[in-house]
Amino acid sequence: MKFDTLQQGIRFYENYARVSGFDTRLYSTKKRKSDGKISLKYYVCNKEGFRETKTSIKLQKEKTNNQN
């Protein structure tokens, strides 16, 4: 679907989620390199998993290396 404004899209998804029995949350935001303005926002079901951060991936690698 396309919306005239970001706010209209967010409102639609939040209303749909409420009617369907789930909640939403902001998953990630992307900014344009040229001017730093937000170009994309991902909203997901609140039960959607989280992306791993670079720090958590680094810690997992360190744990694996220390066990060997």
CA 38 remoteness from chain centre: 13
Whether the full predicted model's pTM is greater than 0.85, yes or no, is: no
What is the DSSP code string of 8-27? HHHHHHHHHHHHHT--EEEE
pLDDT value of residue 8: 92
**Residuewise pLDDT in 10s, the chain (68 residues):** 889 988 898 899 889 988 988 888 888 889 999 998 888 888 888 777 666 565 666 666 666 666 65
Phi-psi region of 2 (alpha: psi -120 to 50; beta: other; left: phi over 0): beta
Strand residues in the chain grouped as ranges (E)? 24-31, 38-45
The span from the CA of 67 to the CA of 63, in Å, is 6
